[in-house]
Structure 1
């Protein structure tokens, strides 16, 4: 039976229909489990203090410095995703709080989605579908229609997802080039893809697919100046983080026919999403509601790994995907 001395994990504003899976894992581990809502720092603090949480599993809740200062009993924050820009890792480390994420869980499904968006824009699938539903049988209305072979697919960010997207694009007939902060232009990757300067990639590629993390250096990495470097018949795809792209500048480029199209799964503001944003009126766009990360298979893996990290942390084990394992050194606190 659970008791007051049992450790407690709290699901803080998670992005799932229910938390039955997490609750079952906690129960099997002999850990109490509760759910709180609200993603602002104040809501997070209130929920953690009211529940007496030892660890939090979260999707989009904010964990700035003030959360760690206000919640001295907190031992871990485990995010159900790869990115962790909502969490102040430096402040967490200073307060002895482990921060965990789930890298690699969505490699296949996110790269699948990136390729799908690219092809949907090139083939104008959404526009063809809309015509059919209006009773219009005339593919010529949506010309030009593109294909893979003969086009260059540029990958920006060659982590696991970027490499998977590159492999799939090459398999479909694209010529693949890439850029990454960790790779030296003028060389080739182990797979044989040429490494270009970012500006050169933007000038060369027919499809530019973004797979870089969001950092201060990559915020608005694709801005008006860099969009102007792209071919007027190029396609931009973003399944990384919304703020990697200046979306207002992108919408303007599309509306002015300075860019052919875009496939976006992530946006600078998502919760709540601004349905009056200029990108909603931009032509030749395929938009999805941050769905790239999700398949039933990847979703279960995501939830299990995030929850297991929290369980490990409160039971004194170093989680596999811990960003700051130094907090488990007794001298770190």
Structure 2
């Protein structure tokens, strides 16, 4: 007899045998589906005892409608899709996987940073167009003379510091939640946003999406950037006002960008595609085969733990 249904929502995986086999072994029925509205969510998962959520939005109405659900686990480090307060008010625990892809995202950020600043893709396009001339891309500065500004010094931000410090020694960091000892231990300079906007040649975003960080890169903040920096975002698309960034890239206020996440994703504005001074990747910074396996198994494991009456390993804060 089944112990109830565990549902995976808005997944991107071709093969769900990992979840199917584990649920069967634990005595649960497994189902999977996609939804884009509250009604669709409840139609697919309304009778679930547990949900593995990849990209579905959990609103207060959804939380109230999940009468049997004990737990929702997000297969990722961000949980802004889920109204945690509403879930817990309705007896639903919320879990996530905060550290499954730290190396992958840090590597991706460093890769984008170097590729954009060294104008590697522009060289590549020129060669494909039959133009063998390093000067076509314009001036390129020596990286170890540049100042890097990081916004956010969590797990990924700290890994970026450790990986990039040999290449760019001068690193300014804004993170209002850390004490001065953390900055000193990593050999970086604590700074406020104004200092980063005024002094950084490269700005890399590693902050969660909150009301305070929404559009932290805006028309107003872009106008304050004196060094015409390169901007890297492997965190959350809504940290950047995309229209403001497009305007800044077109005008030269921002020299270039490496962007893995968009507020409009998967829709990419034509004006962004037309730019020569940007590298775009499809929310891929997290991905490796190892990271995918880890986040799927850990999210499902926490779902089963909570249903079994055990505390989750990674409850959302």
User: What is the TM-score of this pair, normalised by structure 2?
Assistant: 0.95
SS in 2 for 1:57: strand
Residue ranges of structure 2 left out of the alignment (5+ in a row): none
Say which of 20, 36, 40 aligns to 1:39.
36
Give the corresponding residue for 1:299: 292
> Which digits, 9 at most, give the CA deviation of each residue in 1:105-162, with x for residues without a partner?
1111101001111111111111111122222211111122233211111111010001
Native 8 Å contact 1:232 1:260 kept in 2: no
Distance 1:187 1:196, change over 3 A: farther
Query: Residue 19 of structure 2 corresponds to which residue in structure 1?
Result: 22
Aligned mates of 1:38, 1:18 — CA distance in 2: 19
The DSSP-based 3-state class of the residue aligned with 1:176 is strand
Shift of residue 166, structure 1, vs aligned partner = 1.3
Would the aligned equivalents of 1:62 and 1:86 in 2 still touch at CA under 8 Å? yes
Q: Distance in 2 between matches of 1:147 and 1:40?
A: 49
Deviation of the 1:185 alpha carbon: 7.6
Cα RMSD (Å): 1.7
Partner of 1:316: 309
| 2:191 maps to 1:192 | no
Q: Indicate conservation of the 8 Å contact 1:8/1:33, yes or no.
A: yes
Q: Structure 1 runs of 4+ off > 4 angstroms?
A: 184-187
Corresponding residue for 2:161?
Answer: 166
> Aligned runs of 1:194-273 on 2, under 5 Å?
194-270=189-265, 273=266
Aligned counterpart in structure 1 of residue 113 of structure 2, from 111, 118, 134: 118
User: SS in structure 1 opposite 2:204?
Assistant: strand
Q: Does 1:98 align with 2:89?
A: no
Of 228-237 and 273-282, deviating more is: 273-282
Equivalent residues in 2 for 1:28-67, closer than 5 Å: 28-49=25-46, 52-67=47-62
Question: Take 2:41 and 2:189, find their aligned partners in 1: how far apart are those partners?
Answer: 45
Residues 161, 186 of structure 2: 8 Å contact kept: no
Cα gap change, 1:286/1:8 in structure 2, threshold over 3 Å: closer, same or farther? same
Q: Distance in 2 between matches of 1:159 and 1:228?
A: 27
Cα distance in 2 for partners of 1:6, 1:212 equals 39
Q: What residue number does 1:157 align with?
A: 152
**Distance in 1 of aligned mates of 2:139 and 2:21:** 52
Contact 1:153 1:169 in 2 (8 A): no
Q: Is the 8 A contact 2:200 2:227 kept in 1?
A: no
CA distance, structure 1, for counterparts of residue 170 and residue 132 of structure 2 = 33
Count of matched residue pairs: 317
Structure 1 gap ranges (5+)? 325-333
Indicate if the aligned counterparts of 1:250 and 1:279 stay in contact, CA closer than 8 A.
Answer: no
